Amino acid sequence: MTRPTRNRLLAVVLVVVTVLVLRRLPDEATWLVGGAGGAVMALALWVTAPFRKARGLMREKKFDEAATELAAFELSLADGWRKWLAGLAVGLYTTNAIAASRNTLGAVRLEQGRLEDATTHFDAAIALDPLYAMPWANRAVLAAMKGDRAAAMEAKDTARALGFGSKTLDAVLHDKLTARSP
């Protein structure tokens, strides 16, 4: 079972167990337990606000601003409790918020055409969490941009084995490799 599948199942189980437990509690306890859980998730979203803002800036093609937000996000994770909470809200592929940040910064650098910087950030993300599929998918795109079909396919296969299931990746790799072909 891949990590994303496991995390999806854990999320469903958590919701089902929470609903079952809350239905059996007295009303006062339901509000207390439900409120505490809601507060933890709200706090996790608050802690990851710079990360989410960086992703939005990236979609808007404001790459330098996105990089600044990611740096602020990583600095904010110096406190252990923030790092733990951020891990709850950075996605299905990893619970390591710094790895997610480094991968996103690598994607920013990839979009800017700074391929060596992108490589450094993807490698850092993989070093922090070797089972994190996203930097492997991004390394596939990077290799395709460099015209290295073998490395692109190897990284794509690794990403797939780790649970990355986007069909878009195949299309992107095809486009990048075709663009590099004579």
Residue linked to tokens 């490799």: 177
Average pLDDT over residues 148-161: 94
Domain boundaries along the sequence of the chain:
3-131
From residue 167, give the alpha-carbon distance in Å to each of 4, 78, 86, 102, 154: 16, 36, 28, 23, 16
Cα–Cα distance for residue pair 160/89, rounded to 1 Å: 22
Single pTM value for the model: 0.83
Mean pLDDT of the chain: 90
Average pLDDT over residues 32-38: 83
Checking if the pLDDT of 88 tops 90, the result is no
Average pLDDT over residues 99-110: 97
Model pLDDT for residues 38-82, shown as the tens digit of each residue = 888 888 889 999 999 999 999 999 999 999 999 999 999 987 888
Q: What share of the chain has pLDDT > 70, as a percent? A: 98
Checking if the pLDDT of 18 tops 70, the result is yes
